[in-house]
Amino acid sequence: MYLLIDAFESIQKFIDMGGPVLVLIAGLLLVMWTLLFERVWFFKTTLKTELQHAVSNWEARAEHTSIHAHQVREAIISRVTLSIDEGLSMIKTLVVLAPLLGLLGTVTGMIGVFDVLAITGGGDVKSMAAGVSQATIPTMAGMVAALSGVFGSTYVSRIANREKQLLADRLILNY
């Protein structure tokens, strides 16, 4: 129990040092990784059923050579591609947004430093250090969030592209 309380106090201290923008970055990170884990879960479970259904629909067709068959194939691939790509653009947007929120934290921290400079004339170094800390911690947190998101996004995008290509290869056109 004390370990949990210590962890909570450490997190609270970190947020106090970095300012309120850290809460936004933490929320963004939570949403981004929730979407990433959802995509991985989808690829491991639901996608297999969708792919089998798509292939069985294609193989149930009597002919595969006409222009109409080609259009049906493209429609099947498009439907599955839409479900594969669902949420990927949101993940990529959140990855791009993370460093921007870090920069917002930098700006708000530097505003605090400038306030201290205006009030004290530069004589209170300790207060300025707190503002500099509040300026640098969100930048670091935003960059770490973006880096972790880049790795996760790249992994999920590779799986998505591979599955789309495998589906296209399985739906063979006979000319």
Rounded Cα distance, 5 and 169, in Å? 54
Rounded Cα distance, 98 and 91, in Å? 11
Q: Are 142 and 98 in contact (CB under 8 A)?
A: yes
Q: What is the pLDDT of residues 97-139, one digit of tens each?
A: 999 999 998 888 888 778 777 777 766 777 777 778 788 899 9
Total Cβ atoms within 10 A of residue 113? 18
pLDDT at 122: 66
Rounded Cα distance, 134 and 127, in Å? 11
Q: What is the pTM of this model?
A: 0.84
Q: What is the pLDDT of residues 135-152, one digit of tens each?
A: 889 999 999 999 999 999
More confident residue, 28 or 6: 28
Report residue 163: phi and psi, to 5°. -65, -40
The token pair that represents 87 in the structure block: 């949420």
pLDDT at 174: 56
Rounded Cα distance, 64 and 70, in Å? 7
Angle at 104 between CA 103 and CA 105, to 5 degrees: 85
pLDDT at 158: 97
Q: What is the pLDDT of residues 10-56, one digit of tens each?
A: 888 888 888 889 999 999 999 999 999 999 999 999 999 999 999 99
pLDDT band at 62 (very low <50, low <70, confident <90, very high): confident
Gap between the terminal Cα atoms of the chain = 68
pLDDT at 65: 84
Domain ranges of the chain: 21-170
pLDDT band at 80 (very low <50, low <70, confident <90, very high): very high
